[in-house]
Structure 1
Amino acid sequence: MATGTEHRHGGGGVRAPGRAAIAAAHLRTDRWWLAPACTAAGLLAFVAYSTWRAFANAHYYAAPYVSPFYSPCLAQNCRPMHGGPNADVFGAWWGISPAIIILIFPLGFRLTCYYYRKAYYRGFWASPPACAVAEPHRSYSGETRFPLILQNVHRYFFYAALLVAGVLTYDTALSFRDDRHHWGHMGLGTLVFLLNIVLIWSYTLSCHSCRHIVGGQLKHFSRHPVRYRAWRLVSRLNARHMQLAWASLISVALADFYVYLLASGVFDDPRFF
């Protein structure tokens, strides 16, 4: 076990004095590299796609659907170009894609998420690459130095994520209207948006910060039965946090891509009624 001095100065790790002297890099015989490689590939694919869509500044509104990457539209350049929902908070001075304003909040929430930290630490930095596989770095400082110390803002991004999820819930409700703003519409896009918002809320509420907010700082659950039931529910979701993280990541990209296909005229939204 590394001493406190070794940890502070980055001298700890599997090669530190006092640790077992195992010459082999690892003793695993399975394809341990497959999981971090798939994780890195999946995250890279989403980063590439979301970057393209965020800077495209086009094809993000097809009545009654607005892309989750661009909602809420807070810049003036949303309305005259696309006719979609627009709050016009930033005014005309914001000339680039309005998605840049919005994506910082869900992106910050996911980047600082406990599961995603594990995913990209292993997938991109090999820190560590897998269980029982030594990381290639000579020093280890954890999340005690800049920039990783900024991971502690996760709890604040959680509140922003709640607001974003609320906006996407509103957009999902609007997907039940037709292009003349009459209620009673349901198309394939409505189902896509419903699936997305269910997964978004499930992932957000399964967050470790949410679990702490709901059930933390309590000495006796018996005196707080409502919070205890809420904590039990969040704990069940938390046990599936990894699966919900990936499912919601795929669903939000799918919802955006569906709007893109409609807005670019690839096909019309199939309507059920």
Structure 2
Amino acid sequence: MKTKEALFGRCCSTNDLLVAANRRPSNSTTNRTEEEGCGTALWVYQNLADLQSQDSPKPSDNMQGFYSKLDSSPSSSPLLGVGPGGDHGAVPLSLAVETEKAQALLQTFSSASLLASAGLGMFCVVADHALQLSVIQQHLWLRAALDNATHGLVGLWSWAVVIGLRKKSDLYEVLLAGLLASIIDLDHFYMAGSLSLKAAVSLPQRPPLHCSSLIPVLCLSLRFLMWIGRLKDAWCSLPWMLFISMATHHVRDAVRHGLWVCPFGNTAPLPYWLYVSTTATLPHLCSVLMYLTGTRDVISTKHGVAIDV
């Protein structure tokens, strides 16, 4: 601003210079004087234009964060068009978010995800047949330990299909899902009131954590407690992890005993093919539900990539 005032001070004012430039000269001396005035006016305008171009605000690098990571060059994200520096302007943030959500949903049914689910179904068949071997059936502790380990591996595998294994923290989540699927069987000992394995596996009725009606109740209660405690977004997937762990455990047990849907009682035992197909499709169902409830967006931000929720 000081530079502009100094420039204006050299020729009084811009209006005076324009008047002097348009005034008819009466003699050669006046002619030369006014020509010099016009030259000075032209010089002033040229410098003012340069100053205005220098003073005009330029987009800060910090503003680039407004466009999200998806607003980049066409080569990196062809669905989004040209980014902030392109010819067509920046892609709106809402469009970037919707595109990221669509990519996450499509990745739920990617070839890798489908192959992992098929492998999960095959694992269930192999593990169940292995548990029927006479050498395992003759030892109660071995049979119970392997059956519980199978519950854990199915829950672990299912959650791995949901989130994918991209970071070290993903491995911790997968292990936690397997642990949750395994510790459900501890309610057998609680119901028996003893640490005796024989008493735990010969209960007159099913223990409380094997009631399938508890799954939505526990998951929604956990979500409510997280909202009350204002836990970080990193924990947003915990209710869904609990859902996968309990659902896979209950579906596997339903082959022998059916599902216990309180207060309606027990269903008929599930056909074996239905158990295997349900177990293989549960991770995809969970991913779609997470997409519909917006949980998938938060996980995508946490992981830094669009994930298959």
Same fold (TM over 0.5): no
Higher relative contact order structure (alpha carbons within 8 Å, sequence separation ≥ 6): 1
TM bin (shorter chain): under 0.3
Larger radius of gyration: 2
Question: Which structure has the highest helix share of the two?
Answer: 2
> TM-score, normalized by length of structure 1?
0.25
